Structure 1
Amino acid sequence: MDQTKRFKQFAIGITFAIALSLTACSNNDANADTTAPPSSEAPTLQPSASPSTEPTIAPEPTDKPSSAPESGNGGEEGSAEAGQLIGSIYKLAKEGKVLGSEYAAHDSMYDEIEKSWGKADTNESAGNGIYATYDKKGITFGYNKGMRVFDVRSYSDKLNAITLKDLEIALGSADEKTVNGTDRIYTYKVNKQFELKFVISESTQKVDHISVYSPDDAKNNMAG
């Protein structure tokens, strides 16, 4: 009996030892670092896309001579309203017209104007032709002996806001500068047919009136 008892105790001890060994192995496996080791190589970074290089679009041509500086050139600032007005004047001048008149130099005949507008307030000879003035409209037409209009002038009060500085910022330096008494005349050649003249009064230092002038029609006084 004693031997049997000792054998059972020995067997139990062996079983307990095996159980402890298996538990230790299980714990070691559970504590093992299952995280994959980091790669020895740094990850490759994809370069960012380079900014697109779209072609530069050239600005649309403006209604002013190529020699004219951009507005604000040299740190100067002119009147925005004056600049817009000058742009409108220049655009119309390319058609021989001024603000306030649908009749153009070179294309219009004075007898047609007279039928539509009536008799002028004054109609007198001056320079190379005859000048008909409509005071209420602030418009004067110069026409030759063949009745063809070669000069259209505007005396609109809006023009009085324009200074020489405004002109030079908007249109650049004049193609021709002349003096008539106390007035200074700044002439811009808008195309082969027409010249645009700004007459600046010495007393106000601002534009008194403008003229859209067709030199060829002024020379040919018998054109018709």
Structure 2
Amino acid sequence: MNNRKKAIVISMLFANMLVFTACASTEKPTANSAAPIISTAPSTVNELTPTVTPTETPEASSAPLSTPNGSITVKPVSVPSETTTVTKQIKEMFELAKVGKVAGITFAGETGFFEDVEKAWGSADHKDVVGSFIYATYGKKNAVIGFNKGDQIIDIRSNDPKLQTITLNQILQALGKPVDTKVNGDDTIYIYKASDMFQLKFIIPKSSGKVDHISVFDTKHSVNNMAR
């Protein structure tokens, strides 16, 4: 090969090298490149979980309630029902009747005499004869006192307004069924045995359906005698 041909070959080889170098310099790095990859993921688990501050639960305050007039302590108040109050009232009547008495009247059947009533209360408004007995009415005392011919008290009646709100149902709830009932005109008389000697009677007019008056009646001395 002459020198001219050698020169041409060398020139071509040199040109190819230049083209190859140029192509290599413009080629983008591949996925296998050793260049570091910047990660956008959180580095720790704690960074993924937001920090939650627990909500504090206020403790129940023992402080009294606040009112416009100041602080007061509110306490539950037990108030007896009307039914309970009336039941207690009726049972107290029954207990007094056992010893011949009525609430609000100091005299008693069997042991009391009408002369004692007159000494304490004075003369009656009026007296009425009913069978073998005499009944003295004292309007201001809401009372009628019955006595036999021996002057012994055998019947104490009270028409106190406090009694005149009581109904038959309330009596039945407190004392149960009466031992006997009687009808006198518009009145129905409900009779309870308080003791071997005394009866407790509730007189209820049909027109009102409520107690008109009560009676504590001495069954032993309610006879026509001169007992003293």
Q: Same-fold call, TM > 0.5? A: yes
Select the residue among 173, 186, 191 that pairs with 1:182: 186
Q: How far apart, CA to CA, are the structure 2 residues paired with 1:99 and 1:143?
A: 19
Select the residue among 197, 200, 225 that pairs with 1:221: 225
- The residue that corresponds to 2:96 in the other structure is 92
Q: How far apart, CA to CA, are the structure 1 residues paired with 2:159 and 2:181?
A: 20
Quote the offset at 1:95 in angstroms.
1.1
Quote the offset at 1:184 in angstroms.
0.4
Q: Deviations over 1:126-146 (max 9, x none)?
A: 123000110000011100111
Q: Deviations over 1:20-53 (max 9, x none)?
A: xxxxxxxxxxxxxxxxxxxxxxxxxxxxxxxxxx
2:221 partner SS? helix
- The residue that corresponds to 1:114 in the other structure is 118
Select the residue among 162, 181, 193 that pairs with 2:166: 162
Select the residue among 130, 135, 138 that pairs with 1:134: 138
- The residue that corresponds to 2:196 in the other structure is 192
Q: How far apart, CA to CA, are the structure 2 residues paired with 1:220 and 1:94?
A: 23
Q: Deviations over 1:166-190 (max 9, x none)?
A: 0111000000011010000000011
Q: TM-score, normalised by structure 2?
A: 0.63
Please tell me the residue identity of whatever aligns with 1:116.
Answer: A
Q: Could you say which structure has the greater relative contact order, defined with CA pairs below 8 angstroms and 6 or more residues apart?
A: 1
> What runs of 5+ residues in structure 2 fail to find an aligned partner?
1-80
Misfit runs of 4+, over 3 Å: none
Identical-pair percentage: 43
Q: TM-score, normalised by structure 1?
A: 0.64
Select the residue among 122, 147, 151 that pairs with 1:143: 147
> What runs of 5+ residues in structure 1 fail to find an aligned partner?
1-76
1:136 partner SS? helix
Q: Deviations over 1:168-220 (max 9, x none)?
A: 11000000011010000000011111000000111110111000000221114
Quote the offset at 1:78 in angstroms.
7.7
| Contact in 1 for aligned 2:145/2:155 (Cα 8 Å) | yes
- Taking the TM superposition and a 5 Å limit, the aligned residue runs for 1:25-36 are none
- Taking the TM superposition and a 5 Å limit, the aligned residue runs for 1:12-91 are 79-91=83-95
Q: How far apart, CA to CA, are the structure 2 residues paired with 1:128 and 1:89?
A: 27
1:211 partner SS? strand
| Contact in 2 for aligned 1:100/1:139 (Cα 8 Å) | no
Structure with max Cα Rg: 2
- The residue that corresponds to 1:204 in the other structure is 208
Q: Measured at CA, do residues 185 and 78 of structure 1 come closer, stay the same or move farther in structure 2, by a change above 3 Å? A: farther
2:220 partner SS? helix
The size of the alignment, in residue pairs, is: 148
Q: How far apart, CA to CA, are the structure 2 residues paired with 1:78 and 1:178?
A: 29
Quote the offset at 1:85 in angstroms.
1.1
